[in-house]
Structure 1
Amino acid sequence: MEKTIRIQKPTTFDDSITHSEIDAHQPFASSTFQNDNEIYIVVQHQYLCLLPSKSSLHIHGKITKDDCVAAVTVTKLINMAVCHLFEKVRYGLNGVEIDRNRNVGITSTMKKYVSLSPGQEYSLENTGWLSGDKELTDAAENFNVVLPFNYVLGFAEDDRRVIVNAKHELILTRSNTNLNAEIQASATENFKITLNKIEWLLPYIKLADKPKIQLLNYIAKDLAISMSFRFWETYVYPMLLSTTRHTWSVKTSTQLEKPRYVVLGFQIARRNEPLRNASVFNHCRIRDVKLFLNSQCYPYGNMNLDIYNNQYAILYDMYIWFQMTSYNKEAEPFLSKREFMNRAPLIVIDCSKQNETLKTGPVDIRLEFDSSIAFPPHTSAYCMILHHRIVKYNPISRTVKKFV
């Protein structure tokens, strides 16, 4: 109401940034893009203001038969196929790793399923996210995507400030197989995915005189600049026993790394299987899931799911609530209730509210879950933990410290 009656307020314009441009940085000349290779991209322009949170990866490639010439006939790339081509992504400042993503395909797919909203649908295809019957390649089987940094690293989603006077390093590790990036109508076709170009599109910011002087005066004091974000960490239970109940001791964490959210997903015989889509999850007729942080339990009550009888409203409600509590906004779920169950029946557990007993000492993270029937053979479980990470860097002495 106050803004409504403040007629004396003058019109102002934000001219603090005078210029912004995006430069493309290439990997070292010795880098190759084959399976198991590491791809290094280093930005040495330490005297400039860079905005890595708005950066992206530009990737161009082609899928062919294994002779690198003939076009494939029964093979196509799946949703988030580009992420499945990489096993690990690491980002560092001044030689210190501050964020990483292991098992990039699974982690990024799980995170985006719970974070995206329907309003982003038309822009998603350019990132490699496919819905419905859309295809990533053209008639000649070429693909070309721009993958935003916030699709693969947590710091790019949460810390959106410029970074000054620092050396930036990006290390991409290719997966040892391309099987998780595609799906085939039959397993008789040998294929090859060739990456022709990988470049890091990084925004450069130029400031107006007044904010530039203020920034330089602050930097001259060499005070520690803090960066805080949510770190994505995924753990894999590669093959569950064929029983109806499981207990999984995931890890023991420090105080800072204790979970704020845990996302649990299951896949039945999808890993390294050319006939199965590795970006789709299975519900496995799950009946109940409990997360234990030491002795504290989330959720407190039993879920009592019965998926075959359409009793999974609680599961979908937990999925919706993630956006409301994590991003403090009205929920806009990307998947409808039916799509959620068919494509990504993920169990999203909010454990951000914790009592005093969890504020001292290490925290044991344990999952207990049971299903209506025994888990099928070759069922894998994925546990993605979102926890806080704090990094501080000094722009003059160029020291970087991680607080864990």
Structure 2
Amino acid sequence: MNSDILNVDNHVLVDNAIVDCQIFDHPPYANTTYNNSDEIRIPLQTKDIYTLPSKSYLYIEGRLTDSEGKESATLNFVNNGLAHLFDEIRFEIGGCVIDRVRNPGITSTLKGYISFTESESNRLNASGWNPTLTPQIVDSQGYFNVCIPLRMLLGFFEDYKKIIINIRQELVLIRSSTDLNAIISTKANEKPKIELTKMFWKLHHVQVSDIEKLRLINHMDAGKKLELDFRSWELHEYPLLQQSTRHTWNIKTTNSVEKPRYVIVGFQTNKKNDASKNMSRFDHCNLTNMKLYLNSQMYPYTNLNLNFEKNIYAILYEMYANFQENYYYKDIGEPCLSNLKFRDLATITVIDCSNQNDSLKSGSVDIRLEFETSKNISANTTAFCLIIHDKSIKYNPLTNVVSNF
């Protein structure tokens, strides 16, 4: 029995630092359209307020129909399909880009598979996230409305938990050139039509007590810079792999500050721009081994020795399941995909390179992938590589100057 039960004279501590926290709707600029390839800018014009971006979300209303504008029982969104409606999403403060995600459909789907638990996936069903079933977000007339937490889409919103003070903010979304990747059709040659009718950035405004306000004002008056530290998600794509069993992919050269911490790799065959294929699924492509090279350092050190024909992929699933333990400092990872669902729906390779030797702390870092398959890669196979790396930004709330670390 805990001895705390004897402390009868203890007082309840009440935290009055925050006196109010309300969600406000921020619409795009007037006359904004939501058609394919359009740029959608959602500004926060007022600077002298405190906001909490990590809790914010994107609200979207629209309708899914066939090409003639009629409701269709054979059309539905794929898992995380709303993210496929955009080619790029970025967050800006003071006119500078803080974080950016290209191809957010693939990026956030890969990140979601490794990050969300089963209970979190259930919680996000209303956001269009359902890793094993078709999301039920469209009614019989084709109408839908969703709230997508921005922590699903950008690393900044997931990692930076503090308020932003006294600086202009803007959320920018670029509509995709096609909506075929967002939906799945059970009818041959059916073409979807997606009409977005309403979009808001729902952002928390925080009001603080007089004591806290004075402390924050003194901090600004002193001209101190504030640090925004987070992990950014950077997607790279190899559009058409050669039809062979050995592959080398020189991904990029980066600086030591933004060196990779985690690398996630997935393959898709004959899925892009095809309404009959599910863009939220990733294929194993008979993978047998994969190595990540950061200069001369190799991850993982030992070979994987996979064989999907004999269901030998336990090591790959273990790498997938361990991500949450290392990334979120959990005692036990609880991935949203079971062993069988991982094989059948989203076979992805998760490489943990967060612990690196001293030789990588200075100079440039060459990032290279080498992988092997038991059979020749099929035609029209695309490889995706999601790199999660550290990023640090500084901003001065007094002068509104933003700079990289």
When normalised by structure 1's length, the TM-score is 0.97
Amino acid in the other structure paired with 2:67: D
1:204 counterpart residue number: 205
- The structure-2 alpha-carbon separation of the partners of 1:132 and 1:191, relative to structure 1 and needing over 3 Å to count, comes to closer
Q: Distance in 2 between matches of 1:99 and 1:2?
A: 46
2:255 counterpart residue number: 254
Unaligned runs of 5+ in 2: none
After TM superposition, give the deviation of residue 134 of structure 1 in Å.
4.1
- Contact kept? 2:233, 2:387, Cα under 8 Å: yes
Deviations 1:218-277 (A, max 9, x none): 121120000100000000000101100100000001011110000000001111111100
Q: Distance in 2 between matches of 1:333 and 1:74?
A: 30
Q: Distance in 2 between matches of 1:120 and 1:96?
A: 32
Deviations 1:252-309 (A, max 9, x none): 0101111000000000111111110000000011000000000000000001011121
Q: Distance in 2 between matches of 1:227 and 1:197?
A: 31
After TM superposition, give the deviation of residue 199 of structure 1 in Å.
0.7
Deviations 1:77-98 (A, max 9, x none): 1111110000000110010000
1:304 counterpart residue number: 305
1:125 counterpart residue number: 125
Q: Distance in 1 between matches of 2:401 and 2:96?
A: 9
DSSP-derived class of the 2:91 partner? strand
Deviations 1:294-353 (A, max 9, x none): 000000000101112111110010011110111101211111111111111110000011
- The structure-2 alpha-carbon separation of the partners of 1:285 and 1:3, relative to structure 1 and needing over 3 Å to count, comes to farther
Q: Distance in 2 between matches of 1:246 and 1:215?
A: 54
In the alignment, is residue 357 of structure 1 matched against residue 368 of structure 2?
no
Q: Distance in 1 between matches of 2:336 and 2:193?
A: 32
DSSP-derived class of the 1:195 partner? strand
DSSP-derived class of the 1:324 partner? helix
What percent identity do the matched residue pairs reach?
A: 42
In the alignment, is residue 385 of structure 1 matched against residue 387 of structure 2?
yes
Q: Distance in 2 between matches of 1:380 and 1:6?
A: 64
Amino acid in the other structure paired with 2:211: K
1:17 counterpart residue number: 18
2:373 counterpart residue number: 371
- Contact kept? 2:129, 2:135, Cα under 8 Å: no
2:397 counterpart residue number: 395
Q: Distance in 1 between matches of 2:175 and 2:135?
A: 25
Q: Distance in 2 between matches of 1:228 and 1:10?
A: 36
DSSP-derived class of the 1:52 partner? strand
DSSP-derived class of the 1:54 partner? strand
- The structure-2 alpha-carbon separation of the partners of 1:56 and 1:362, relative to structure 1 and needing over 3 Å to count, comes to same
Matches within 5 A, 1:93-172: 93-130=93-130, 131-172=132-173
Q: Distance in 2 between matches of 1:190 and 1:316?
A: 36
After TM superposition, give the deviation of residue 6 of structure 1 in Å.
8.4
Deviations 1:18-68 (A, max 9, x none): 111101011111211000000011111100101111110000110112232
Unaligned runs of 5+ in 1: none
DSSP-derived class of the 1:97 partner? strand
Amino acid in the other structure paired with 2:19: T
After TM superposition, give the deviation of residue 3 of structure 1 in Å.
8.2
> Number of matched residues?
402
After TM superposition, give the deviation of residue 356 of structure 1 in Å.
1.3
Q: Distance in 2 between matches of 1:91 and 1:318?
A: 31
- Contact kept? 2:179, 2:192, Cα under 8 Å: no
DSSP-derived class of the 1:216 partner? helix
Moved more, 71-80 or 175-184: 71-80
2:318 counterpart residue number: 317
Q: Distance in 2 between matches of 1:80 and 1:133?
A: 10
1:223 counterpart residue number: 224
CA RMSD of aligned residues (A): 1.5
Matches within 5 A, 1:43-82: 43-68=44-69, 70-82=70-82
After TM superposition, give the deviation of residue 211 of structure 1 in Å.
1.4
- Contact kept? 2:62, 2:196, Cα under 8 Å: yes
Q: Distance in 1 between matches of 2:234 and 2:179?
A: 22
Q: Distance in 2 between matches of 1:209 and 1:9?
A: 27
Deviations 1:194-233 (A, max 9, x none): 0001110010000012212111111211200001000000
Q: Distance in 2 between matches of 1:122 and 1:376?
A: 34
2:294 counterpart residue number: 293
